Amino acid sequence: MPEKSFLILKSNLTASDIKQLTSQWDLDSAIFANLFSQLDHINQKLNAVKRKIDYLDSVARETTKTKELKKVTDLTRELVYLKHTLDDQTESLRSFGEYLKKNQLASSADIASLMTKQAQLTKMIHVYTDLLNSISGLFTAMLDSHLNHLVKYLNSVALIIAIPTLISGIWGMNIGGLPDRTNKNGFWIIITIAAILTIIWAIILKKKKYND
């Protein structure tokens, strides 16, 4: 049997288990069964990853919290490890399958089933990686959207405040010729005018959805 068939794969067999195997057929059968067990374990791991992806996809539409972004990064790293493990394992499985088939230690159907399961898991990892990339992009887009909204809102507030600031600045000049400068109600007149103009300007911005 090619040595590389065992380089990537981890076996659950203990030393005592191997000693109890009475023939090469027993050993190969045990390894073959153990490979199915390993793939089932990876499949369960990927199912857990899928649940995490669904969760992150839902929260990505509502929040941009740093802890959720960290979860995306951690999950992406986990998928990268699984992806490289399966990619490296594929060639070993193919060599092992050819060995079993050549020596008639396993049926072609069982070998095909093993390789199909391996291919399905590899495909799932690629799909989940793409999903995580899209979620990461969604987080980035949401962050940009929130930042743009904040800047737009602050600009709207600045425009609204600019009107009373301009009016008070003009009437606060220490020069002659300003209307109603000697009027005892001049202060309240200026405040009223500034308030009315500010409200009108705020309504205009609201209708234009400038602060949405």
pLDDT digits (tens, 9 = 90+) for 92-148: 778 877 877 777 767 777 778 888 888 888 888 888 888 888 887 877 777 787 788
**What are the distances in angstroms from CA 44 to CA 63, 133, 145?**
28, 22, 36
φ, ψ at 182 (rounded to 5°): -95, 0
**Mean pLDDT rounded to a whole number for the chain:** 75
In a shared domain, residues 134 and 90:
yes
Residue 24 lies in a domain: yes
Residue 67 lies in a domain: yes
In a shared domain, residues 34 and 77:
yes
The span from the CA of 144 to the CA of 101, in Å, is 56
In a shared domain, residues 36 and 138:
yes
In a shared domain, residues 173 and 134:
no
- Residue after which a domain boundary falls, among 108, 142, 176: 142
In a shared domain, residues 192 and 125:
no
In a shared domain, residues 123 and 165:
no
Residue 42 lies in a domain: yes
Residue 212 lies in a domain: no
In a shared domain, residues 51 and 123:
yes
> Which CATH number characterizes residue 197's domain?
1.20.58
The span from the CA of 209 to the CA of 95, in Å, is 65
Q: What pLDDT score does 19 carry?
A: 47
The span from the CA of 186 to the CA of 207, in Å, is 32
196: containing domain: 153-207
- Residue after which a domain boundary falls, among 92, 110, 142: 142
The parts of the chain modelled with pLDDT lower than 70 are: 1-29, 32, 63-66, 105, 175-181, 209-212
List the helix and strand counts (H, then E) for the chain.
5, 0
